[in-house]
Structure 1
């Protein structure tokens, strides 16, 4: 039996400046990303596409999804594999490559740079190697068509 999970979100455009989409420059790209029972996410397009730089854009949210899924599966694998992680921070970066026509593009890569602290030096090698196991189980990584690489740094907690 196949198990499925559904994820419903609402995207609500809030950028009508009075004349709707009369022209490319007549409207704001501002919108809210909403889901039942959760605080909204103030979003826009990338500033290169007339977006508000103070709001999240779809490309950032995609990179964040990749990084979050990697982290959550990594922590699970560490817990199951006897590695005690005490800190985790990732400075992920995604690259969008534009088509030569200038009309479209795609995310061409995401590089994860997790910095992990473990409780004991004996766990460091295993902690490093478990990053390589995440791609086989991460829902997001398995759903995208661009490469995801990682360059982890593992530290030992100083007492």
Structure 2
């Protein structure tokens, strides 16, 4: 169905000491369309001097990828069903825990998407739930993860 690529690049800066673990974790993600995103380790794992808190960490990127994938399928299914949406927002939350072997992993992801529907034909709560179910079932990222994923749509009205 497709092959996807990205480039992740890090290099040591002058004055940093790799053997003693005193080096910046800041790096750059580059994508085929030309976008470059600053990346770094997540805050809390290392001293602040070794990370770039303004950069995206892998855990945040995982949440954003899952929420973005879900949103894109949701929007497609809503349009196909004849609904109009003026905005969509989600603030996914992931929990990192240790597994049975003591290794950290993102054990749960909770998404709380909110779509603002407009127009003459508005979906009911059951239709919105159905659209989210279809989107979740179709999402490539969700289908690739072993994390427990919950979709809790915010439904107005």
Partner of 2:8: 11
Alpha-carbon contact 1:31-1:42 (below 8 Å) kept: yes
2: CA distance, partners of 1:96 / 1:47? 13
Structure 1 residue 127, shift from structure 2 partner = 2.3
Distance 1:21 1:100, change over 3 A: farther
2: CA distance, partners of 1:54 / 1:121? 41
Local SS of the residue matching 1:49: coil
Structure 1 residue 19, shift from structure 2 partner = 4.1
Alpha-carbon contact 2:83-2:122 (below 8 Å) kept: no
Partner of 1:27: 23
Alpha-carbon contact 2:111-2:151 (below 8 Å) kept: yes
Alpha-carbon contact 2:83-2:121 (below 8 Å) kept: no
Partner of 1:95: 95
Partner of 1:110: 109
Partner of 1:80: 80
Local SS of the residue matching 1:48: coil
* Per-residue Cα deviation, 1:22-81 (whole angstroms, up to 9, x for no partner): 212x10101000123322100100112223211110000000000000000000111111
2: CA distance, partners of 1:15 / 1:140? 32
RMSD across aligned positions (CA): 2.0
1: CA distance, partners of 2:23 / 2:151? 38
Are residues 1:63 and 2:60 paired? no
Distance 1:17 1:151, change over 3 A: farther
Unmatched runs of 5 consecutive residues or more in structure 2: none
Alpha-carbon contact 1:117-1:154 (below 8 Å) kept: no
Alpha-carbon contact 1:83-1:127 (below 8 Å) kept: no
Q: What number of residue pairs does the alignment pair up?
A: 151
Alpha-carbon contact 2:110-2:152 (below 8 Å) kept: yes
Give matches, 1:40-59, under 5 Å. Answer: 40-50=36-46, 51-59=51-59
Q: TM-score, normalised by structure 1?
A: 0.85
